[in-house]
Amino acid sequence: MESRLTHEWAHFCEQLAEAGAVLSRPDAPDTPIDQAEGLRYLTRLTRASFESIIEGGDPDFPRFYRLTSDTLKIGGDNPDNLYLNATISGSREYLICGNRGSVSYLSFGTKANRFAIDGRMASTGELEDSAMHIEEDGSFEIVVSEVERGRNWLPMKSDTSMLLVRQTFLDRETETPADIHIECLNGPPLPSPLSPERAHMALTTAGAFVTQTAKAFAGWAEMFMARPNELLPWDQTIFQNVGGDPNIHYLHGYWQLKPGEVWVIETEVPDCRFWNFVLQNWWMESADYTNIPNAYVNKHTAKIEDNGMLRIVVAPTDPGTGNWIDTTGHTSGTALLRWISADHHPVPRCRVMRSDEL
């Protein structure tokens, strides 16, 4: 005789099947590489849902997990970032402690994570390293609560449910990541045993996360397709509502090239703490930056023209000019240029050229 939980597992599998519908959306690319990466993308989202909701979903006993990494990419991930997430609750208080390290940029954000419900993740509090008190040895403490407390306070609201930490590297080989720990200050002493009700809720939420995430970012890619081969600011509130850092200005785009064509991007570079340009597939995943040297470019690695302009050339092979970004076997996809703490936000000039015109 089948148990109720058997039916609930079947429902979870139905949710995954619904998520798989993104592969056959009218605007989704049907090339072998894009469909294969789309299938892998769905497995990655499923893995992310298990890690964040099934294993890391108890706000009374939070732990940091990697919702985005070199093999788990969601919504325009940043190859220069070390992302850490933790499940928290606005009804609790938390202490974050650790050592600053030497990363170029370190930020903490609390979020009202409704991604599994309506695809939103609104900010409920932000704190970055430049606004923090950090001891000479690099150590620090942050209180996370609704009511202001401590020298370093990260606000929450009643609906806060996630902590997102961004560590941004200019050069991973020379910079040291922050060492960070979190504990709940007013929770129970021990976790309660897992109940069928909690297991059911977590599994249902995990399935909804996969479905909503797949739909949300496919919708973004379709939106960007309306203005091909451009990088535009669009409406920044769209990006902030899904967990974007308020200090980051995002310029998203969709690119498409025919054989023999290259995409040339030219812009002034503002005075800013950090910037990078990342080429992505249609699913908004960055390329394999672990193994492909020219998958993206940043403030540290870029070559600036004599006139102070930045020139990026997106092409399947090295054109021998500008900062070459490898299309990695794709003929179309998405792209993202981000300025962090910039004094202004220039919009690049973008054009498609023949490779022999460079």
Please count the structural domains in the chain.
Answer: 1
In-domain check, residue 140: no
- Alpha helices for the chain (secondary structure H): 4-19, 32-49, 115-118, 196-224, 236-240
The DSSP code sequence of 272-331 is: -SEEEEEEE-TTS-B--TTT-TTSEEETTTPPBPTTSEEEEEEESS--SSSEEEE-TT-S
Flag whether pLDDT at 53 surpasses 60.
yes
Q: For residue 273, what is the domain's CATH number?
A: 2.60.120.600
Q: Where are the alpha helices (DSSP H) in 86-170?
A: 115-118
Burial of 193 (C-beta count, 10 Å sphere; 0-12/13-18/19+): exposed
Is residue 241 in some structural domain?
yes
In a domain, 272, yes or no: yes
- Compute the average pLDDT of residues 223-231: 98
pLDDT of res. 232: 98
For residue range 334-348, list pLDDT tens digits in order.
999 999 999 999 999
In whole angstroms, how large is the CA radius of gyration of the chain?
21
Task: Give the per-residue pLDDT at 1.
Answer: 42
Residue 177 domain flag: no
Among candidate residues 324, 328, 303, the one with its CA nearest the CA of residue 314: 324
State the pTM of this model: 0.94
Residue 21, in any domain of the structure? no
Q: What are the tens digits of pLDDT across the range 155-198? A: 999 999 999 999 999 999 999 999 999 999 999 999 999 999 99
Could you tell me the pLDDT band of residue 274, with boundaries at 50, 70 and 90?
very high
Domain limits for position 275: 221-357
Amino acid at 96: I
- Residue 58 covered by a domain: no
Within 10 angstroms of residue 64's Cβ, the number of other Cβ atoms is 16
Structure tokens at 4: 């109720």
Least Cα distance to 273 among 176, 337, 339 occurs for 339
First to last CA, the chain: 70
Angle between helices 32-49 and 196-224 (to 10 degrees): 150
Predicted confidence (pLDDT) per residue in 276-320, tens digit: 999 999 999 999 999 999 999 999 999 999 999 999 999 999 999
Residue 275 lies in a domain: yes
The chain-wide mean pLDDT, for the chain, equals 95
Local confidence band at 2 (pLDDT 50, 70, 90 cut-offs): low
Determine, yes or no, domain membership for 317: yes
